[in-house]
Structure 1
Amino acid sequence: MAAGLLCRIRRPQEKKGDSEGDGGVRMAMRDIMDYKRVALAINKAKKIALCIHMFPDGDAIGSMLALALALKALKKKFYLFSPSELPHRYNFLPLYGQIKTDIGPNINFDLAIAIDCASHTQLGEFHDKVFKKSEKTIEIDHHAFREAFADISLVDDDAAAVGEIIYHLCELLGVKIGKAIAVPLLVSLIVETGSFRLPTVHAKTFLICSKLISCGVDYYKIVENSYWSRTRAEAMLLGLCFSRLKFLKGEKVAVTTITFKDLKRLGARQEDVDPVADQIRTLKNVQVVLLFREMHGAKWRVSLRSKGSINVGKIAEEFGGGGHPDVAGCYLPKREKEKSRLIGRVLSLV
């Protein structure tokens, strides 16, 4: 698919006669060609780079590590890259220690795969240093608002998480999904669905989870480590954000801010900010959340969350970002005028 074209690929549909005893989680025949193109490129490649987006979450990390384990089973040589620091909460996952934030000596790749990236900019420096230099490129993603940038696109914006796509790809590659692969795939699904609370969850999500849990994983440990447990700094940061909340349009819109000074004072990391917007969204009357996070380069990193009819993905896209209808983000110059413009756009839709 040519770079720059917006793309939308249907979720692999459950269809009578397709499951063959697999619990109804096999992709329909009309969608299998998208997966076959990716599988063929992987089988032909000898040296493969896997890249995830800046400020990676559990979906990106879990999906990449699950695919890396599949490549390991296929005896492929692979390299794992992240353009920014990894959240420590996922350090229990297999191959976590092999993810590099720098490229090192010049390495040429037969194939580069971008995972959970809505645009090439989310790859940071790895787009120019790894992706553009590879002989062939693939993007595997589920964002509804995105820009295609690879030679081959496997994009399913109905998937609850990229982990669902990786699950089907592993099956097509002939890789047995055992305990090792099941753990990161479950992390992908748990984190991206907010522990199965979001409207993106569908029946097939639970069918896949059932198959993964049956591999003998410790589900309680996985969900506790990847989603529910909090550090002291994270809890204090959450309290600070709640105390600063400004409610607009009654209580329908909630706005809060985090600065570098806040992080330093609380001994918190950037990763400790990640769950804050989701927690604010749990407030009963709130429909839209805007979290403004101070970043280097005089910028705001804005996390948008919604429930109901407000599509924050479209709003983020207007401001140069993207995401999903209920979870999205963008960057803004750190100017009050720009901040007010975004808040005003949200208020116009509430």
Structure 2
Amino acid sequence: MASVGDQYRTRLDEALRFLREHDDFLIVSHVQPDGDAISSTIAVRWLLDRLGKRSLMINEGRIPSRLEFLPHAGEIVNYGERKPDRKFRAVVAVDCADFSRIGLVRELFEEHCELLNIDHHPTNDGFGTVNLLRQDAAATAEILFELIEHAGLAFDKDAATVIYTGLLTDTGGFRYSNTSPNVMTAASKLLTAGVDAYQLADRLLERMTMPQLKILQRGLSRLRFTEDGRVGWLYIEPKDLEETGASGEDLEGLVNYARNIDGVEVGMLFKGMDDGSVKVSFRSAGKADVAAIAQQFGGGGHIRAAGCRMSMPLDQAMPLVVDTVRRSL
């Protein structure tokens, strides 16, 4: 485990105590879950199984199709299709930067429920009854790796696969600046437990569907830059998804094409929503704190990767955000 000090070890102890004191859990991640969120959800389920506890995994919507192959992913309930007819007193929230990111699933929480909040986002405000937070972790899956090790449990192939998936996706295939020595040490141990690294990398990082290619072509045709070339952005409208046959998950990684251009400090993807609002994804090359920028619009995230949602039309949101980013630089 990383040299994170006695205070963090105490939080690990508190998290394990929470899991041992209750017997029936609801496990939830954020709306529109990514690889880290789904992996962390399954990892918590695995840990609770080893502790002899009952649990139900749930998310507001469906999980991305590219993650359906993960062990036990098919057991995650889609709240939009099937609502459990009961409420829960003990909840574990993973990878949720704030309470609102849990979405409609919060309707299943008992009024005075106890909540374990496990997360790595710097903007997390500690909304849990118990909070296991580490801002310098590359992924929530990294924290769960440490929690499982702290519990003295050995990883089987299923647990190793989901934790490795969370690390792989949130580090961009171990390419982003959050790829720390601790991440690589964890990855090495997970490989020893039987992870098929090549197959995971091929499935999650290399493959592309035809709808995904079509939405990429459409997005790149709209790529724009400020005059000094330091800010780049592109946008997708609701009709683009319908016309290309793409889904929301096919937009993952599209924002990086704006940031990866030489000289660009901040790249952005504007996604127009059916309800008239706009989702904005930010990526920074390192000099700009896009989490601070996103917070100005009610969002949050990390220094290099953040997002927000704006209640205004696309043609109003884009110039406002671009001007804010330009001034921040």
Scaled by the length of structure 1, what TM-score is found?
0.89
Please tell me whether the aligned partners of residues 63 and 188 of structure 1 are also in contact (alpha carbons under 8 angstroms). Answer: yes
Q: CA deviation at 1:134?
A: 5.9
User: What's 1:192 paired with?
Assistant: 170
Matching of residue 64 in structure 1 with residue 29 in structure 2: no
Pick the aligned partner of 2:94 from 92, 104, 115: 115
Q: CA deviation at 1:132?
A: 5.0
Matching of residue 213 in structure 1 with residue 191 in structure 2: yes
Q: Secondary structure at the match of 2:243?
A: helix
Pick the aligned partner of 1:80 from 57, 70, 84: 57
User: What's 1:310 paired with?
Assistant: 288
User: What's 1:183 paired with?
Assistant: 161
Please tell me whether the aligned partners of residues 89 and 110 of structure 2 are also in contact (alpha carbons under 8 angstroms). Answer: no
Q: CA deviation at 1:343?
A: 1.1
Alpha-carbon separation, structure 2, partners of 1:45 and 1:243: 53
Alpha-carbon separation, structure 1, partners of 2:203 and 2:277: 31
Bigger relative contact order, structure 1 or 2 (CA pairs below 8 A, ≥6 apart): 1
Q: CA deviation at 1:29?
A: 3.7
Across the aligned residues of Structure 1 and Structure 2, the Cα RMSD in angstroms comes to 1.6
Percent of matched pairs sharing the same residue: 29
Unaligned runs of 5+ in 1: 1-11, 15-26
Aligned length: 326
**Paired residue type of 1:347:** R
Please tell me whether the aligned partners of residues 112 and 134 of structure 1 are also in contact (alpha carbons under 8 angstroms). Answer: no
Matching of residue 259 in structure 1 with residue 237 in structure 2: yes
Single out whichever of 132-141 and 107-116 deviates more from structure 2. Answer: 132-141
User: What's 1:97 paired with?
Assistant: 74
Please tell me whether the aligned partners of residues 108 and 134 of structure 1 are also in contact (alpha carbons under 8 angstroms). Answer: no
Alpha-carbon separation, structure 1, partners of 2:177 and 2:291: 14
Q: CA deviation at 1:302?
A: 0.6
Alpha-carbon deviations, 1:37-92, whole Å to 9, x = none?
11011011111111000111001111111121121222211101111221100111
Alpha-carbon separation, structure 2, partners of 1:148 and 1:217: 33
Q: Structure 1 residues 279 and 183 mapped into 2: Cα distance closer, same or farther (>3 Å)?
A: farther
Q: CA deviation at 1:267?
A: 0.6
Alpha-carbon separation, structure 1, partners of 2:312 and 2:113: 39
Pick the aligned partner of 2:18 from 13, 23, 41: 41
Alpha-carbon separation, structure 2, partners of 1:279 and 1:193: 16
1:283-298 → structure 2 map (5 Å cutoff): 283-298=261-276
Scaled by the length of structure 2, what TM-score is found?
0.95
